[in-house]
Structure 1
Amino acid sequence: MKNIKHLFFLPGVMAIALFMILQGCKKTDKTYYEYENKIQEFDGNALSYLQAQNGIYDSMLVVLKRLPHLEDSLKTKNLTVFAVTNKSFETAVKNLNTTRKAQNKKPISLAEADLAQLDTMMCKYLVREKFRSEDFQNYSDGAFVKSLKFGYPMHILYTKASASGLVNGGPQILTYSDPRNSIFVKFWQRSPTNAVNIATHNSIIHVVAPGHEFGFNDFTTRINK
Structure 2
Amino acid sequence: MKKYLLLLAITGFFACEKGMQDYRNAKPVSEVGVSTYDFLKAQGTLYDTLLRIIDNVHLTEVLKNDKVTFFIPQDNSIETAMRNVNFARIRLGDPGNWTIDSVPLNVWDSLLRRYILAGIVDADSLRYADGADLVSLYQHGMNGKMSRTNASGAVGGGTEVVEFSDRNDSRFIKDWSTALTQNVDIKTKNGLMHILESRHIFGFTSFVGKAYPKSLEAIQGPYLGYPLEIPGIVNAADFDEGPVNVAYSYSKDGNHSYRPDNPGTESCSEGDNQVSPGGGYNVGWTKDGNWLRYTVDIKEAGNYKVELRIAGNGGGIIYLMVDDVVVSNEIPIQGTGGWQTWQGAFGTAVLPEGKHLMKVVIKKANLNLHRVIFTKIN
TM-score using structure 1 length: 0.77
Name the amino acid aligned to 1:111. D
Higher Cα Rg: structure 1 or 2? 1
From 71, 76, 84, the counterpart of 2:65: 76
Within a 5 Å distance, the mapping from 1:21-40 to structure 2 comes to 40=30
| Mapped partners of 2:158, 2:211: distance in 1 | 39
Aligned to 2:187: 199
| Mapped partners of 2:29, 2:40: distance in 1 | 16
SS of 2:199 mapped into structure 1: coil
Residue 167 to residue 120, structure 1, CA distance change in 2 (3 Å): same
User: Does residue 65 of structure 1 match 2:55?
Assistant: yes
Deviations 1:11-61 (A, max 9, x none): xxxxxxxxxxxxxxxxxxxxxxxxxxx852111001001111223222211
Aligned to 1:187: 175
Aligned to 2:74: 85
Residue 164 to residue 220, structure 1, CA distance change in 2 (3 Å): closer
Within a 5 Å distance, the mapping from 1:24-173 to structure 2 comes to 40-68=30-58, 70-106=59-95, 107-137=97-127, 139-148=128-137, 150-163=138-151, 168=156, 170-173=158-161
| Mapped partners of 1:186, 1:163: distance in 2 | 25
TM-score using structure 2 length: 0.47
Deviations 1:86-110 (A, max 9, x none): 1101110001011112333232211
Name the amino acid aligned to 1:135. S
User: Does residue 209 of structure 1 match 2:197?
Assistant: yes
SS of 2:195 mapped into structure 1: strand
Name the amino acid aligned to 2:175. F
| Mapped partners of 1:113, 1:166: distance in 2 | 43
Q: For the Cα contact (< 8 Å) 1:42–1:201, is it kept in 2?
A: yes
Q: Give the drift of 1:161.
A: 2.9
Q: Give the drift of 1:112.
A: 2.6
Deviations 1:195-218 (A, max 9, x none): 111110111100111111101121
Aligned to 1:219: 207
Residue 103 to residue 198, structure 1, CA distance change in 2 (3 Å): same
Q: In percent, how many aligned pairs have the same letter?
A: 28
SS of 1:41 mapped into structure 2: coil
| Mapped partners of 2:172, 2:116: distance in 1 | 23
Name structure 2 gaps, 5 residues minimum: 1-27, 214-378
Q: Give the drift of 1:84.
A: 0.6
CA RMSD of aligned residues (A): 1.8
Name the amino acid aligned to 1:58. D
| Mapped partners of 1:196, 1:103: distance in 2 | 39
Deviations 1:139-195 (A, max 9, x none): 1110111111x1111100111335567764543200000111111111111111111
The structure carrying a bigger helix percent of its residues is 1
| Mapped partners of 1:164, 1:48: distance in 2 | 38
| Mapped partners of 1:217, 1:151: distance in 2 | 18
Q: For the Cα contact (< 8 Å) 1:154–1:176, is it kept in 2?
A: yes
The structure carrying a bigger strand percent of its residues is 2
Name structure 1 gaps, 5 residues minimum: 1-37
| Mapped partners of 1:211, 1:165: distance in 2 | 22
SS of 1:40 mapped into structure 2: coil
SS of 1:124 mapped into structure 2: helix
Within a 5 Å distance, the mapping from 1:15-26 to structure 2 comes to none
Name the amino acid aligned to 1:182. S
Q: Give the drift of 1:224.
A: 1.2
| Mapped partners of 1:220, 1:163: distance in 2 | 33
